[in-house]
Amino acid sequence: MTSSIHDIPGDHVERVTIPAHAAATATESHTLFVAPFACQLVSVAVHWGAAITGTATNYTNVNLVNRGTDGAGTTELANIDYLSGTDATSYDAVDLYSPATPLALAAGTIISLDLEKVATGLALPNGQAVITYRAA
């Protein structure tokens, strides 16, 4: 008998809005996911609300970070650096994280999306992160 979400087999999906990031904004961090129970992080994709064109000098790195259960962790799980030649099409999924073996997370583990300003930065549009996870 199913008594809670972790009893439901298969993948679960959470969607989180990512606010727009101005080029002049300092590096900022957004909580994307807090593991509701011991689970496995299967994938993270981002759908940007407008196109992004990378630049050679002033750009923004999009980093997926495991903050641990206390919020102090700094392990970078994945990143996309929007340098020259790294672009995104509006509304298309950008695969940020999809390891061959899903990452085991303890209940309460925090996963953040950090928008890291390099030089004078690059503006990023709003978007949506799609987080796929399953019970451990």
The predicted-structure confidence for 39-94, as pLDDT tens digits, reads as follows 999 999 999 999 999 999 999 999 999 999 999 999 999 999 999 999 999 999 99
In the chain, what are the domain boundaries? 23-135
pTM of this structure: 0.92
User: To 5 degrees, how large is the angle CA 29–CA 61–CA 87?
Assistant: 130
- Measured CA to CA, the distance from residue 134 to residue 12 in angstroms comes to 6
Bridge partner residues of 97 (DSSP): 44
pLDDT of residue 9: 79
Assign domain 23-135 to a CATH class: mainly beta
